[in-house]
Amino acid sequence: MQAISGNIGFDLCKMESSENYHSPLETEDDVYLTTQNCCPKSRKYTDIFIQKKVKFCISALGLLLLLGALMALCAVGILYHNKVVSFEILHEQYENATVTLMMQENKAKEKEGMYEALEAKFLELNLSCSKKEGMYEVLEVKYQELDFACNINQSRRCEEGWKSLGLKCYYFSTEKLNWIRSRDYCVGKGSHLVIITSQTEQNFVSSQIGETHWIGLNDLETEGKWMWVNNQPLKETGVKFWFTGGPNEPDNWKKEDPSGEDCAALGHEEGVLHKWFDASCLKRKRFICEK
């Protein structure tokens, strides 16, 4: 129906144009006006189409702008969220670091307090040691005075031919006997072979001899178990003065005596007089008696 209406309109337009024939003297503007009057509906439809197209473009452009704004807003939101999360993480790390530093500071203060307490204890102990050292020096002087007095008294009461140290008397023989006969000789004098129980006694008897002397130490009963003549084990006296210059003593050397070396002497034939040596009990040596 629209096509038929269009054709009818077109025919009517033709008829009008034939009826209204214009002379060649008509201008172009007159022709355009005539044509415009001939087809006014077709131009109206074109304007409507253009308007709709413009509206569509404007709407599409608006949608694109809105979409872009939304995307920009989302991006800003994401960035803001990330910033907030980062700030919270940093804040938490800061708090953890602050707590850790406070704990370390407290520990440092505790250690500082402990150090100060230990320093105070050290000063107290140092002062106490100084006092005790002074007391020790005073006692040492007193001991020397008493020892000197005892030596004087002892020298007065020791028999002729005996030498005194403290409350003891010592006899340094001039004759030479084997260890068994030396032991018996001392017993006959109401004494015994010397038993050395201190550095002072060791220094004293060593200073009185010029050659090796028998002392009251042996391992005749059990090899390696050294005993004094009063049946006291050597390890109980707390002092030992064996020679350790190599080979170390006692070494139980069996070249001269197959039975070994079971008796102890102060000094050696080669001249070392301040140390102990094991020797064959059959050897003849000078000896030291004590009472």
| Residues 151, 182 within the same domain | no
What average pLDDT does this structure show over 81-96?
86
What letter would DSSP give residue 267?
S
- The residue among 14 and 55 whose pLDDT is bigger is 55
Written as six digits, the tokens of 169 are: 């008397």
Output the CA torsion 272→202→171→187 (10° steps).
-110
| Domain end among 136, 157, 178 | 157
What's the mean pLDDT when you consider all of the chain? 83
Which tokens sit at 175? 């004759």
- Confidence band, pLDDT 50/70/90 cuts, at residue 35: very low
Residue 264: give its domain's CATH number: 3.10.100.10
237 and 137 in one domain?
Answer: no
Q: How large is the average pLDDT for residues 180-191?
A: 97
Residues 178 and 254 in one domain: yes
Average pLDDT over residues 117-144: 83
- Same domain for 185 and 120, yes or no, is no
Interatomic CA distance for residues 127 and 289, integer angstroms:
46
Please report which helix (H) or strand (E) contains residue 191, including its range: none
Instruction: Determine the structural domain holding residue 117 and report its residue range.
Output: 86-157
Are 146 and 216 within one domain?
A: no
178 SS3 class: coil
pLDDT at 196: 97
Question: Would residue 228 count as lying in a domain?
Answer: yes
Is 14 inside a domain boundary? no
Stretch 185-204: mean pLDDT, rounded?
Answer: 96
What percent of the chain clears pLDDT 90, i.e. is strictly above it? 43
Least confident of 105-109, 146-150, 184-188: 146-150
The C-alpha R_g of the chain, in whole angstroms, comes to 66
Q: Has residue 77 been placed in a domain? A: no
**pLDDT the model gives residue 204:** 97
For residues 191 and 143, membership in a common domain is answered with no
Q: What is the pLDDT of residue 44?
A: 67
Q: Give domain status of residue 74, yes or no.
A: no
Out of 134, 157, 180, a domain closes at 157
Output the six-digit token pair for 159. Answer: 């028999």
Same domain, 182 and 258: yes
DSSP 8-state secondary structure symbol assigned to residue 218: E
Between strands 227-228 and 263-266, the pairing is unpaired
Last residue of a domain, one of 132, 157, 182: 157
**pTM beyond 0.85:** no
CA distance 172 to 170: 7
Position 283 in a domain = yes
Q: Are residues 167 and 281 in the same domain?
A: yes
Measure the CA–CA gap between 286 and 215, rounded to whole angstroms: 9
